[in-house]
């Protein structure tokens, strides 16, 4: 086995650089780190089966108040649900070319693969069936399952990147909605360069509890450290000429949060050159408590 890897450091190696057993080892370590304090988390959705109402106790979440029973009795009551941890978790991973382009050792694509593997592992440990889908050209059409082997097979298909892959994030989200028979937690891992992605995410949020983890390369939000250059847009192939003062219009601090807030969608912006573990841990923990917008 190779040397141990510090998974809290932004120089986390690409998944494809590790042997299978090393990849599994690091993913399990990531999952353990992200699971800390996340019992009330991104993995608990609201589309659950109602069981009963009971009197309110101090510390109960206000989101579960049964307002009708409370009004009728004059006392606060809480709704309780069955199979709280069995909400399906559907992870949509953007596998398109723009996720591959990078100015740092850890690309947006690699970060998304690590997160998908770790979040899927945490969800399954909490007895939530996991379904993984590609937001690019490749086909990964798994069904929601508690089987770790199915998740592992899906992750293995994602470990190797394709810089020429086209984006189909919006199509993947619409397909997921059309083939989902029950409300679920949907986690989108993407740089959101698909021009139709935001509208598709907003449509998804109407039927599912939706969270977006947006990935950003440091070069996308700042000026180029260069003279003039010719390039092509990774998603569309469109040619462009850029200069040293060119800025790309991507907010380094906010990303696409304002666009997603219209649908009440939880949003986390991660940079590939920064430590992401604390931010993701906080995100999955606070989301279940209504702590992020």
| pLDDT bracket for residue 243 (50, 70, 90) | low
Residue ranges in the chain assigned as alpha helix (H)? 20-35, 67-73, 97-100, 108-125, 148-158, 169-179, 197-205, 257-261, 277-287
Domains of the chain: 15-40+86-287 (3.40.50.410), 49-82 (no CATH)
* pLDDT given at position 292: 46
The count of other CB atoms within 10 Å of the CB of residue 94 is 28
Reduced to 3 states (helix: H, G, I; strand: E, B; else coil), residue 194 is coil
* DSSP 8-state secondary structure symbol assigned to residue 129: -
Whose structure tokens read 């989301």? 287
Rg of the chain in Å (alpha carbons): 20
Instruction: Report in angstroms the alpha-carbon separations of 105 from 15, 26, 30.
Output: 12, 17, 18
**Is the confidence at residue 2, as pLDDT, over 50?**
no
Kindly provide the residue ranges of all beta strands, DSSP E only, lying in 73-232, ordered along the sequence: 77-82, 89-93, 130-134, 185-190, 209-216, 229-232
Does 288 or 86 have the greater pLDDT score?
86
Contact partners, residue 6, CB within 8 Å, separation at least 6: 12
Q: Are 26 and 18 in contact (CB under 8 A)?
A: yes
**Is the confidence at residue 218, as pLDDT, over 50?**
yes
Per the structure block, which two tokens stand in for 172?
């993947």
233-257 per-residue burial string, b: 16 or more CB within 10 A, e: under 16: ebbeeeeeebeeebeeebeeeebbb
Arithmetic mean of pLDDT over the chain: 81
């Amino acid at each position: 086995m190779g040397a141990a890897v510090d998974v809290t450091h932004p120089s986390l190696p690409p998944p494809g650089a590790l042997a299978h057993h090393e990849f599994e080892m690091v993913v399990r370590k990531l999952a353990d780190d992200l699971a800390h304090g996340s019992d009330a988390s991104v993995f608990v959705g609201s589309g659950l089966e109602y069981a009963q109402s009971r009197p309110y106790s101090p510390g109960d979440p206000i989101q579960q108040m049964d307002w009708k029973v409370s009004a009728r009795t004059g006392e606060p009551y809480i709704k309780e649900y069955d199979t709280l941890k069995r909400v399906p978790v559907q992870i949509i991973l953007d596998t398109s070319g723009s996720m591959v382009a990078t100015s740092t050792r850890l690309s947006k694509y690699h970060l998304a693969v690590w997160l998908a593997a770790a979040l899927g592992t945490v969800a399954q440990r909490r007895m939530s069936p996991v379904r993984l889908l590609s937001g690019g050209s490749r086909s990964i059409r798994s069904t929601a399952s508690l089987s770790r082997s199915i998740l592992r097979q899906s992750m293995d298909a994602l470990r190797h990147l394709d810089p020429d892959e086209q984006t189909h994030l919006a199509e993947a989200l619409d397909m997921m909605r059309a083939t989902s028979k029950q409300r679920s937690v949907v986690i989108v891992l993407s740089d959101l360069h698909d021009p139709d992605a935001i509208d598709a995410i907003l449509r998804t949020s109407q039927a599912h509890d939706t969270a977006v983890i947006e990935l950003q390369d440091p070069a996308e939000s700042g000026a180029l450290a260069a003279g003039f250059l010719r390039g092509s847009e990774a998603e569309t192939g469109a040619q462009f000429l850029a200069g040293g003062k060119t800025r790309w219009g991507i907010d380094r601090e906010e990303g696409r949060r304002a666009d997603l807030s219209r649908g009440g969608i939880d949003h986390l912006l991660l940079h590939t050159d920064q430590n992401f573990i604390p931010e993701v841990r906080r995100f999955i923990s606070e989301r279940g408590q209504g702590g992020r917008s």
